[in-house]
Amino acid sequence: MSRIGKLPIAVPSGVTITVDPDWITVKGAKGELKQFTLPEVDVTVDGDQIIVTRKSDEKLARAQHGLMRALINNMVIGVTSGFEKKLEVNGVGFRVSGGGQSLEMALGFSHPVKYTAPEGVTITVDKMNITVSGASKQQVGQVAAEIRSLKKPEPYKGKGIKYADEQIRRKAGKAGK
């Protein structure tokens, strides 16, 4: 039995869950999220709990059991409190401005770099820190990864965009004579 999959998901007040044969919809204060159900897993709502069970004991069913429970749990957390990722911009002459859905950055290129976030994700800028927040954990992580990929941190001086909790492994430069 999956250790993650067998745990019930507590549904807080103010969150409504609709289970259809193909889709699970979770609505809350931060928005609405939809997820398709995996074929080897059954999802049932029992009062204020969601219980995920697998149909058989095959390898695919065991793999999908914990995955489906984790996806539903992330949806419940997302519509109640939301998710956020923090990024830091390091570098001389680098600038960040904007907020809401769009971002404009000077990253050492000959042109300013513009980024527009998809619907459901908000970006806030505080000096050289960028915070990406939203209800969907997958979308927040994807947007943060796309922003980071615009100028990845380099190992010699550490210039670039990095996650706030990321450690950059620094390399030694050229050895002088």
The residues spanned by each domain of the chain are: 9-80, 83-163
Report how far residue 90's alpha carbon sits from residue 123's, in angstroms, rounded to the nearest whole number: 18
Provide mean pLDDT across the span 83-105: 92
**Domains 9-80 and 83-163 equal at CATH topology level:** yes
Residue 38 has pLDDT above 80, yes or no: yes
Cβ distance 83 to 134 under 8 Å?
yes
Band of residue 76 on the pLDDT scale cut at 50, 70, 90: very high
Fold of 83-163: Outer Surface Protein A; domain 3 (3.90.930)
Give the pLDDT score at 3.
82
Burial class (CB in 10 A: 0-12, 13-18, 19+), 86: middle
Q: Cα torsion at 104, 105, 111, 113 (round to 10°)? A: -60
Band of residue 32 on the pLDDT scale cut at 50, 70, 90: very high
Provide mean pLDDT across the span 133-147: 95
Residue 37 has pLDDT above 60, yes or no: yes
Residue 137 has pLDDT above 60, yes or no: yes
Q: Which two tokens stand for residue 94?
A: 């680098």
Cβ distance 24 to 74 under 8 Å?
no
Residue 1 has pLDDT above 60, yes or no: no
Residue 86 has pLDDT above 90, yes or no: yes
What angle separates helix 137-149 from helix 59-80, to the nearest 10 degrees? 80
Report how far residue 68's alpha carbon sits from residue 54's, in angstroms, rounded to the nearest whole number: 10
Percent of the chain with pLDDT over 70: 98
Among 96, 156, 175, CA closest to 132? 96
Give the pLDDT score at 151.
94
Per-residue exposure over 125-161, b if at least 16 CB sit within 10 Å of its own CB, e if not:
beeeebbbbbbbbebbebbbeebbebbebeeeeebbb
Band of residue 2 on the pLDDT scale cut at 50, 70, 90: low
Find residue 97's DSSP bridge partners.
104
Residue 125 has pLDDT above 80, yes or no: yes
Stretch (H or E) spanning 70: helix 59-80
Q: What is the pLDDT of residues 4-26, one digit of tens each?
A: 888 999 999 999 999 998 999 99
CATH architecture of 9-80: Alpha-Beta Complex (3.90)
